[in-house]
Amino acid sequence: MFIKRVLIPIAILIFFMTGYAFAYEHEIKSISSSIAESITKSGKRTIAVVDFTDLQGNVTELGRFIAEELSIDLTNTARGFVIIDRTHLKSLLREHKFSISGLVDPAAAKKLGQIAGVDAIVTGSVTPLGKIVKVACKVIATDTAMVIGAAKGDIVRTRGIDELLDKEIATDAAGPSGTTQSASKPKPLGKAGVFQNDIFKITVKSAVKRGSTITLLLLYENISNQNIKMDIHNDAKWTGMTLKSEYPYLTDENGEKWTLMSAANIGFNWTNTGFNLNPSIFLPGVPTLVRLGFSAKGNTDGTLFTAVIEHGYTSHLLFRAVIPKIRLTE
């Protein structure tokens, strides 16, 4: 009787532990399988897998861990292509002062292809959302910088996953091969309601909630010295008769996800349906007001939001704007 009392709880514990481990491995293998199929169909021969980042472009231990696991799975299932050694890749990135987040830039992708002799780059992001971590993965051709494959998966958040998620990789100007540090003091997301990179500044002018919908009025400013043609990219897929959107979206302090329903004054690209409105042209020094409408089907009590919006031209991703700390204006 004593043995049963001891062994049964242990067996249950082992069952749940292995169950979670199996779920995580299953997601990685599923992503790997989908990516491998895309690579094989594209005819690309030499592939590099770079560290995955969070939405702000920071490399975490979880992002690096997932990249390593994905690299191993792709190596084991490769048909007609090879995966270059990641240690060698990190040395090249450090030597030529590449940043992981900058590899979606067409010029940087092409340069890495020439330096490392790779035909495509596998990159991705890890995003904690409630009780799961969403993993998004893309394959980028180095000759064209076009996305030639994509996959996604949800990993259940366990204690081990959270520990990896909370550790940020310390990087320097030389590249992503740094030491691990605690992310208990995370990098600031930036000024509330504002996103800015080398070419654009996006400012939230108003955020109005009506029931289950939120309307954002955004001021887009081209701070470069050239005209920029782009639209909003929407990773959408048909599920039955419903078109489910992934980007752009809002998340609130309750973990609720608000998906894009409408866009005004900016081109809108439905990537998986072939529906592509004419991209907008943004002139240097000429501000443009853009209106985006979002909706949610779950908890709509949120008052503090983060917006995630991908911008590009046809299949070229220019940049992903993460606008933090958006508060309702009325």
Q: Mapped to the 3 state alphabet, what secondary structure does 245-280 carry?
A: ECCCEEEECCCCEEEEEEEECCEEEECCCCEECCCE
pLDDT by residue (tens digit) across 155-173?
888 877 877 776 655 544 3
73: nearest Cα among 41, 37, 45: 37
Dist CA 220 CA 204 (whole Å): 9
Dist CA 327 CA 304 (whole Å): 5
Helix, strand, coil fractions of the chain, as percent rounded to 5: 25, 40, 30
The yes-or-no verdict on residue 113 having pLDDT over 70 is yes
Domains of the chain by start residue, with CATH: 2-182 (3.40.50.10610), 194-327 (2.60.40)
Q: What is the mean pLDDT of residues 68-93?
A: 83
**Torsions phi, psi of 146, nearest 5?**
-85, 150
pLDDT by residue (tens digit) across 203-254?
999 999 998 899 999 999 999 889 988 888 765 444 454 445 566 888 888 7
Dist CA 204 CA 210 (whole Å): 17
Angle at CA 227, nearest 5°, toward 319 and 147? 35
pLDDT by residue (tens digit) across 279-317?
788 999 899 999 999 998 788 888 888 888 888 776 666
Percent above pLDDT 70 for the chain: 73
Q: What is the mean pLDDT of residues 142-165?
A: 83
Amino acid at position 198, single letter: D
Q: What is the mean pLDDT of residues 17-31?
A: 67
Greatest mean pLDDT among 85-89, 196-200, 315-319 lies in 196-200
pLDDT of residue 62: 87
